[in-house]
Structures are given as C-alpha cells and as structure tokens.
C-alpha cells in the first residue's frame, strides 16, 4: 500500500474542518467515543447538527473560538491508500502554518465557498502550494447545497480559477463540486449533481498518480551520523548513516565526498540492519567506503559527474515567521540538510504580493508571514541544489540565535 | 528492482532519521520506556538506527509502583536483549520526599504524579532530550504535536507557541535547563504499529494477549482487581477472558474482553474496533482537555 501526504487549506468559513470531518466519518475513521464527544459538545453549544469540525480542532482555544490555528495531522486509510493529511489554517496571519503543512505534501486541497467564488485567499493558497512545489491541486467547490447545486455557478468559478492559475507552474489542477455538510461527492457520488461526471473527492485522492517527489537521478547522501560500533566483531567498522536525498547508490559505485573532494568507492550498504545492493530516496541507510577518510555530519556523499552547487552566497525565497521584521545585516543559524552554519542577510531583492504573486521591487520590508527573495552569505559553503530540483537539498530554515526560534523557511533559487 | 516503498518502509525510514537526529543533536538523550508497544517499537527502531553499534542512550522507566508484574519482567528482559542501560525513576520517591501528594479514595491514580517524577529524573541525570512513543492519531491534543517538541525549564509545553517544523529540518536548539521531547512515530497509526510489530516479529508483554483476570467495571471500563485499585462497595470483581489494548499504570489501564492470542488476530480486532485506544484509559476521561492539560505540565 502506498502513502499520500496532502494538505488542506481554507479559511475560517470555507467548511474545511467539516470536509475533513466528513472524509474521516465516511471512511469510518471516526470512532464511537470521538463521535459521542462531538455530539455532546455540539448539543452543549446549541448547534442544530453534529458539528464535524469539532473532530479536528484539537486545542482548547481552537474549540472555544471555532477556528483552526495550528497544523493538525490526520490519518486515514482506504483499501487502496494510506493518507496523511496536514490540516492547516488558511487565514493570512497563518501563512507560516500553511507553509509548514505544505512542506511535506504532494497534493493540495483548495476549498472555495460556492457562494463567494474565487477570493483573495483562494489565490493565496494556490500560490503557496505552487511555491512549495506541489504538483497536484484539487479545487473543492464546497457548499453546493447552498446554491441549489447549480452547474452555472460551478462553471463560473472554474473559469475564474483557470484565468488566474494559468500564471502558475502546477501541472495538474482538478475541480470537484461538493457539499461537505451533506456528504455530496466527498465519498458518495451526489444524486443532486447529474451534470458532474468526474470523480468524487475520495476517488481522486485514491487514484491521483503522484510521481515520485524524490529526485532519482543525481545522487545525494547527506551524512547524518557516524557509526563506530566499538565491538570486537566490528573492529574496523565505520558506517556513514543518513537518509538518501537523491539518486540511487549501489555497492561498488565510485563516489566523491564534499566538501573535501576525496574520492572513494562504496564497500557496503546497510539498509537498517541488513546488507543491500542499492538504496534510493527516502531510505535510511548506512554506507561504508573502501578508503578510510575523514567524514563527519554535514558532509555529503555524491557522484563525480553530477555534483551539487557549493557556495557561500545563496538566494532563497523566504517566508518570515515572527513579529520582528527582517533586517538587512542580521545574523542567523542556517539549517540545511544535516549541516548548520551561520548566515548573514545581505539583501532583500524583492517582496512577493502573496495574493497576486507580483514582485514588489521597491518594498523591502519583510514582516510576519511575508514572502520575499533574499540574498544570504554563509560562514562556510552550503552543498545544495535548487529547491525546484531537489526539495531535500534545496530547503533551509533560519534560526534566531538569541532565542533558538525557527524564524524563517527558505527555498533555494 | 522496483523503486517503490511501502507505507511501513516510509514510516520506518522517517522514524530512524528522527532517532539518529536525536543522537546527533543532543548531548544526553534518553528513551522513555513504559513497557507498552509504542515505546517497545521505538527501542526496536533505535536498535536498527545504530546497528551494528549499540544504542547510544539509556532507557528510562517512570515506575508508579502500581504495575502489572508482567511489565516489569518484560522491561528487564528487553533492556538485556537490546543491550541498553536502564534508569528507573520511582514515583514513590517523589511521594516520600514530599514533592507530590498521593491521591486518595476511589479513582485515585498515580498517573498524574508521573510528570513530577519524570521531570525530577530528567533533572537528576541532566537529560536534554526524551524520546517517546507518542502518536498524533492517539488523541486530539497530540495531533498538534511536533516531532521535536520544546519544553521550557519547568518542563512545560506551550502549544500556542510551537516552533514551525518544515521538511525534515528539525530544530533542537535550546537553552541550558530546557529539554526536548521527541516523537519518532508521530505519523504512525495504531494499525501501522501492529502491522510493523508483526513484520519485525517484535516481542510484546504477555498481557497484550488473552488471559484470565479478575476485573470489575467502572464507567464502562474493565479495571483489574488489585490492591492499587480500591473498589466501591457496589462494584464486584468477576473473572473474565481479557487482554489490554494499551499498557500503563494498573490503576488507569482498562482491559477489553477478548480471546485474541496472536498478532494476526489483534490486527483483525484493531480493524474492527469502533472506539479509540484511549477510550479504555481512565485518565483521559477526567475532562475534554485532560491530555492537553497534562501535556502542558510535562506529561508525556
């Protein structure tokens, strides 16, 4: 059985939590005690129907305010697939949470309220998904029950959406009219929308072919930890443990270790306890080399003719996570693969209007939830690919040394 | 060879990455071991993560004194089998030193007191990271938990101010006196855990399987008859064929009626369950936000 990680974005009233509640409920992932707790709370709050949104809002303050403020993860499975869903808040002040939820997703669900059509937030969620390199979008036109399941309304929204999304780089965009509250076209085909011949949402989730999110050509193995057993039986064992970030490594392959540039050959590969002939992403493995060379955490094992970039100057698309605005000249810890170095912010190239994706060249003020292209210089070289080529070797986080908080996420350009 | 990867391989690889990250980022990590299946799973994954080297950290058991005997025997056996050091923190010590007061009466439990003993053990041994078997599918407050979860110098969790966690970049930086809780199997479900236990032939404590036990019913939960579980006059113990679906302190772990005595049947039974694992946990029934409140104070 394979695994699909997806993210849902939607604002406070799009009915996102209700849609997720419906997916869980109709795939029989909701248990009796959970449902009883929700029925009880709905009744106490004087709501007319069982509020499925209460199933996903986990924190006390979220349930009190009826909104989702943090990313929550949900798990469900059908006989075809196992799903990990990052349920993220869609309001502009929670852009960072949506980026967090989207960072590990291969598919994004965008909710649109049929009564309101395409809004600024619809565009924002679409742009963020594209920015994070998500290749599959499903646009759920929700609350069709409130517009009499009218086909013209659905068509109009679809056209409006297509008009603006032609600008972005997402190869697969699909549209499904549904009603999360009533369950139409979520798991069960709607009887009220004969005009729609496409799949239900669950069918689409089960059958979307998610081509590998992993880079299978250029070999990348960031060394995470060095294994030295100190046991009689493994006297000379020196294994480099890590998770393959790109390409296929085979026993006998000639490799280069960066940053030193030393060359060697793979003596053996172990994939969690047993010897194997080859490993590929996202396997955790440990590699032994034929030569005894000095390798430590943060180094990268690659191949000679497909080497990554190695540079102290990088440009990243950055999303800023904290209240204090970004200042030119400020210093950070930059975390990239298994490497941690210092970095200084040299320049803000431009800010991105997250609602239109326009570049604003003359606005260099990056505040909470803002996205912009910046230039960084690091204390020692990073060994990287662009985010577009490889999400693992192309992503960074910035940490504020004063309080250890993760203040930004960045995608290397 | 097809370059495909099953969901269990995925989850295993992710968990091993997280466990190795702990060994690399922290000075003195440890693994919290309750004797339940989830902490056993982490122990097994840690063994795989560092093989052929030994696991580079000890396991810690917070002992309420109110245990199933089988759990203690199992704990010692597993420490030997996986060649790890065992550290035990006793709730009784926290009570004797006056740090906590024992609850009395019906429904009293030492479960809440464990947080204090755990934090004391962390302080005494200067542990800076505790690996645990928490899963996001267990409970709604846990669904919001990070892989790397920061705890302040009082051991408290601040759910509204968690660090964003992106891709596989885990930020374990902290100030002196603070620590982390790390949950390598965050993304596993109960079913994944059982399927993996079967695949890896992992040893489990016998009380996960069918046995005869004297139990009594309280609020729909079957509790074991034991000196640690005072009964109300109206409650009667009866002998039943039971097993446990989770394992904790004897005073708060409910049994289910079941004849199941092997992993395959457990998997079939889990697939057919209509209540969550934690429905049998008396400690979660205290209030709607019981878990969130305990977690804020330092509970696992």
From edge to edge, which strands make up the β-sheet containing A107-113? A72-77, A81-89, A2-10, A107-113, A136-142, A172-177
Better pLDDT: B105 or B78: B78
Better pLDDT: B138 or A14: B138
Q: Identify the CA nearest to B9 among candidates A109, A80, A27, A280.
A: A280
Q: Chain A: residue nearest B296 by CA?
A: A59
Q: Which residues of B touch A37 (CB under 8 A)?
A: 288
Q: Which residues of A touch B82 (CB under 8 A)?
A: none
Element (H, E) at A175: strand A172-177
A200 in the same domain as A91? yes
How many angstroms separate the most distant Cα atoms in chain A? Answer: 76
A398 in the same domain as A367? yes
Q: Identify the CA nearest to A315 among candidates A411, A197, A196, A210.
A: A411
A403 in the same domain as A279? no
Q: What is the pLDDT of residue B1?
A: 45
A156 in the same domain as A276? no
Q: Chain A: residue nearest B172 by CA?
A: A404
Given an 8 Å threshold on Cβ–Cβ distance, is B166 in contact with A243?
no
User: Would you place residue A50 in the very low, low, confident or very high pLDDT band (cuts 50, 70, 90)?
Assistant: low
Coil, strand, or helix at residue A87? Answer: strand
A177 in the same domain as A239? no
Is A214 domain-assigned? no
Is A366 domain-assigned? yes
A48 in the same domain as A19? yes
Is A46 domain-assigned? yes
Under 8 Å CB-to-CB from B91, ≥6 apart: which residues?
A: B62, B63, B64, B65, B100, B110, B113, B114, B116, B117
Of A60, A100, A233, the CB nearest to B165: A100
Residue B290 token pair: 């019981």
Length of chain B: 300
Q: What is the pLDDT of residue A181?
A: 87
Under 8 Å CB-to-CB from B285, ≥6 apart: which residues?
A: B219, B221
Q: Which of 43-82 (A) contact B at CB < 8 A?
A: 55-61, 69-75, 77, 82
- Cα–Cα distance for residue pair A391/A104, rounded to 1 Å: 9
Please state, in angstroms and as integers, the Cα–Cα distance from residue A166 to each residue in A130, A131, A158, A159, A169, following that order: 12, 14, 12, 11, 8
Q: Which of 158-197 (B) contact A at CB < 8 A?
A: 159-160, 162-169, 171, 173-175, 186-187, 189, 191-192
Given an 8 Å threshold on Cβ–Cβ distance, is B50 in contact with A227?
yes
Burial bucket for residue B166 (CB in 10 Å: 0-12, 13-18, 19+):
buried
Domain end (from A174, A207, A240): A207
Domain that holds residue A289: 220-302
From edge to edge, which strands make up the β-sheet containing B148-151? B86-90, B59-63, B29-32, B129-131, B179-182, B148-151
Q: Which of 18-37 (B) contact A at CB < 8 A?
A: 20-21, 23-24
Q: Which residues of A touch B168 (CB under 8 A)?
A: 104, 243, 392
- Cα–Cα distance for residue pair A190/B275, rounded to 1 Å: 29
Write out pLDDT tens, residues B197-221.
999 999 888 888 888 988 888 887 8
Q: What is the mean pLDDT of residues A81-108?
A: 86
Chain centre distance of CA B70: 16
CA of A390 to nearest chain B CA: how many angstroms apart?
12
Coil, strand, or helix at residue A329? Answer: coil
Domain end (from A239, A271, A302): A302
- Cα–Cα distance for residue pair A315/A388, rounded to 1 Å: 13
CA of A327 to nearest chain B CA: how many angstroms apart?
20
Better pLDDT: A155 or A125: A155
A343 in the same domain as A283? no
Q: Which residues of A touch B159 (CB under 8 A)?
A: 59, 70
Length of chain A: 413
A272 in the same domain as A356? no
Q: Identify the CA nearest to B246 among candidates B34, B91, B78, B83.
A: B34
Is A213 domain-assigned? no
Q: What is the pLDDT of residue A409?
A: 95
CA of B256 to nearest chain A CA: how many angstroms apart?
15
Say if residues A236 and A288 touch (Cβ distance below 8 Å). no
Q: Which residues of A touch B137 (CB under 8 A)?
A: 74-75
Is A177 domain-assigned? yes
Q: What is the mean pLDDT of residues A317-331?
A: 93
A108 in the same domain as A48? yes
Write out pLDDT tens, residues A174-200.
999 999 988 899 989 999 999 999 999
Q: Is the per-residue pLDDT at B233 higher than 90?
A: no
Highest mean pLDDT among A201-215, A226-240, A377-391: A377-391
Is A359 domain-assigned? yes
A135 in the same domain as A38? yes
- Contact with chain B for residue A33, Cβ under 8 A: yes
Is A215 domain-assigned? no
Local structure of residue B281 (DSSP, 8 states):
B
User: Which of A156-170, A318-332, A355-369, A389-403 is predicted with the least confidence, judged by mean pLDDT?
Assistant: A355-369
Given an 8 Å threshold on Cβ–Cβ distance, is A71 in contact with B144?
yes
Q: What is the pLDDT of residue A47?
A: 66
Given an 8 Å threshold on Cβ–Cβ distance, is A58 in contact with B191?
no
Count: domains in chain A? 3
Write out pLDDT tens, residues B73-100.
999 999 999 999 999 988 888 888 877 7
DSSP-assigned states of every residue in A344-407? EEEEEEEEE-TTT--EETT-----TT-EEEEEEEEEEEEEE--TTT-TTTTEEEEE-TTT--EE
Burial B122-134 (b: 16+ CB within 10 A, else e): beeeebbbbbbbb
- Contact with chain B for residue A185, Cβ under 8 A: no
Residue of A59, A213, A219, A247 best to disrupt the B interface, most CBs of B under 10 A: A59
- Contact with chain A for residue B1, Cβ under 8 A: yes
- The mean predicted confidence, pLDDT, of chain A is 88
Write out pLDDT tens, residues B187-203.
999 889 999 999 999 98
Given an 8 Å threshold on Cβ–Cβ distance, is B23 in contact with A3?
no
CA of B174 to nearest chain A CA: how many angstroms apart?
6
Q: What is the pLDDT of residue A67?
A: 46
Supply the CATH number for residue A235's domain: 2.40.30.10
Question: Rounded to the nearest 10 degrees, what angle do helices B190-200 and B7-25 cross at?
Answer: 90
Q: Identify the CA nearest to A221 among candidates A314, A286, A310, A311.
A: A286
Q: Identify the CA nearest to B62 among candidates B7, B120, B12, B9.
A: B120
Under 8 Å CB-to-CB from B11, ≥6 apart: which residues?
A: B185, B187, B188, B192, B196
Between 3.30.460.10, 3.40.50.10490, 3.40.50.620, 3.30.420.480, what CATH number should domain B7-193+289-297 receive? 3.40.50.620
- Contact with chain A for residue B82, Cβ under 8 A: no
State percent of chain B over pLDDT 90.
38
Angle at A155 between CA A150 and CA A160, to 5 degrees: 130
Across the strands, what pairs with B150? B180
| ipTM value > 0.95 | no
Residue of B29, B142, B164 best to disrupt the A interface, most CBs of A under 10 A: B164
Q: What is the mean pLDDT of residues A147-162?
A: 96
Is A256 domain-assigned? yes
Q: What is the pLDDT of residue A242?
A: 97
Better pLDDT: B102 or A7: A7
CA of A194 to nearest chain B CA: how many angstroms apart?
34
Q: What is the pLDDT of residue B12?
A: 95
Given an 8 Å threshold on Cβ–Cβ distance, is A228 in contact with B53?
yes
Q: Is the per-residue pLDDT at B281 higher than 70?
A: no
Q: What is the mean pLDDT of residues A151-167?
A: 93
Q: What is the pLDDT of residue A66?
A: 47
Residue B193 token pair: 């855990």
* Dihedral in degrees, nearest 10, Cα atoms B251, B253, B257, B262: -130
- Cα–Cα distance for residue pair B241/A336, rounded to 1 Å: 54
DSSP-assigned states of every residue in A180-212? TTTTBTTTBPPSS-TT--S--HHHHHHH-----
A226 in the same domain as A368? no
CA of B78 to nearest chain A CA: how many angstroms apart?
18
A69 in the same domain as A32? yes
Better pLDDT: A102 or A21: A102
Return the domain boundaries, chain B.
7-193+289-297, 204-286
Local structure of residue B162 (DSSP, 8 states):
P
Q: Identify the CA nearest to B204 among candidates B8, B15, B36.
A: B36
- The mean predicted confidence, pLDDT, of chain B is 84
Supply the CATH number for residue A71's domain: 3.40.50.300
CB atoms within 10 A of CB A307: 17
Q: Identify the CA nearest to A408 among candidates A360, A345, A337.
A: A345
Radius of gyration for the alpha carbons in chain B, expressed in angstroms and rounded: 19
Q: Is the per-residue pLDDT at A57 higher than 80?
A: no
């Amino acid at each position: 059985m394979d695994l699909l990680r997806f993210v849902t974005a939607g604002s406070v009233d799009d009915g996102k939590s209700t849609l997720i509640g419906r997916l869980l409920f109709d795939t029989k992932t909701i248990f009796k005690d959970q449902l009883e707790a929700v029925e009880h709370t709905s009744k106490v709050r004087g709501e007319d129907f069982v509020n499925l949104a209460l199933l996903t809002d986990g924190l006390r303050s979220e349930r009190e305010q009826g909104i989702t403020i943090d990313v929550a993860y949900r798990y469900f499975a059908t006989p075809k697939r196992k799903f990990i869903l990052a349920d993220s808040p869609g309001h502009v002040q929670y852009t960072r949470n949506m980026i967090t939820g989207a960072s590990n997703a291969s598919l994004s669900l965008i909710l649109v309220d049929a009564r309101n059509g395409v809004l600024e937030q619809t565009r924002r969620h679409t742009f963020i998904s594209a920015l994070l390199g998500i290749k599959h979008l499903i646009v759920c036109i929700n609350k069709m029950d409130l517009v009499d399941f009218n086909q013209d309304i659905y068509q109009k929204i679809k056209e409006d959406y297509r008009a603006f999304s032609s600008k972005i780089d997402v190869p697969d965009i699909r549209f499904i009219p549904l009603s999360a509250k009533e369950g139409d076209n979520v798991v069960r085909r709607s009887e009220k929308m004969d005009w729609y011949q496409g799949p239900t949402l669950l069918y689409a989730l089960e059958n979307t072919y998610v081509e590998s999110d992993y880079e299978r050509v250029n070999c990348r193995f960031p060394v995470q930890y060095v294994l030295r057993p100190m046991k009689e039986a493994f006297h000379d064992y020196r294994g480099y443990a890590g998770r393959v970030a790109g390409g296929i490594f085979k026993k006998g392959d000639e490799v280069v270790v960066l940053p030193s540039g030393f060359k060697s050959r793979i003596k053996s590969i172990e994939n969690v306890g047993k010897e194997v002939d080859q490993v590929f992403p996202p396997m955790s493995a440990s590699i032994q080399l034929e030569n005894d060379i000095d390798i430590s955490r943060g180094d990268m094992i690659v191949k000679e003719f497909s080497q990554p970039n190695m540079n102290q100057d990088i440009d990243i698309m950055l999303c800023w996570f904290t209240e204090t605005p970004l200042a030119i000249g400020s210093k950070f810890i930059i975390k990239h693969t298994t490497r941690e170095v210092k970095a200084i912010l040299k320049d803000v190239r431009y800010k991105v209007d997250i609602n239109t994706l326009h570049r604003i060249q003359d606005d260099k003020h990056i505040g909470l939830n803002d996205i912009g292209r910046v230039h960084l210089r690091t204390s020692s070289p990073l060994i990287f690919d662009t985010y577009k080529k490889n999400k693992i070797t192309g992503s960074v986080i910035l940490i504020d040394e004063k309080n250890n908080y993760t203040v930004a996420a960045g995608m290397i350009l | 060879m097809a370059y495909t990867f099953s969901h269990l391989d995925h989850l295993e690889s992710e968990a091993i990455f997280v466990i190795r990250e702990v060994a690399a980022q922290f000075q003195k990590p440890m693994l919290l071991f309750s004797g339940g299946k989830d902490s056993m799973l982490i122990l097994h994954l840690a063994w795989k993560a560092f093989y052929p080297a030994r696991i580079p950290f000890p396991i810690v058991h917070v002992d309420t004194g109110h245990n199933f005997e089988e759990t203690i025997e199992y704990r010692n056996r597993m420490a030997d089998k996986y060649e790890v050091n065992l550290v035990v923190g006793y709730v009784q010590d926290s009570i004797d030193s006056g740090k906590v007061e024992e609850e009395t009466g019906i429904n009293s439990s030492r479960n809440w007191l464990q947080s204090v003993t755990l934090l004391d053990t962390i302080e005494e041994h200067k542990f800076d990271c505790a690996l645990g078997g928490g899963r996001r599918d267990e409970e709604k407050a846990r669904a919001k938990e990070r892989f790397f979860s920061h705890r302040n110098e009082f051991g408290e969790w601040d759910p509204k101010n968690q660090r964003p966690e992106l891709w596989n970049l885990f930020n374990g930086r902290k100030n002196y006196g603070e620590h982390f809780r790390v949950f390598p199997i965050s993304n596993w479900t109960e079913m994944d855990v059982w399927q993996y236990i079967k695949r890896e032939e992992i040893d489990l404590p016998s009380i996960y399987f069918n046995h005869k036990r004297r139990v009594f019913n309280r609020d729909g939960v079957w509790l074991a008859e034991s000196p640690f579980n005072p009964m109300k006059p109206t409650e009667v113990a009866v002998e039943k064929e039971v097993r446990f679906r989770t394992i904790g302190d004897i005073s708060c772990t409910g049994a289910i009626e079941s004849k199941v005595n092997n992993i395959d049947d457990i998997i079939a039974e889990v697939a057919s369950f209509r209540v969550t694992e934690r429905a049998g946990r008396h400690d979660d029934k205290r209030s709607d936000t019981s878990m969130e409140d305990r977690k804020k104070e330092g509970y696992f």
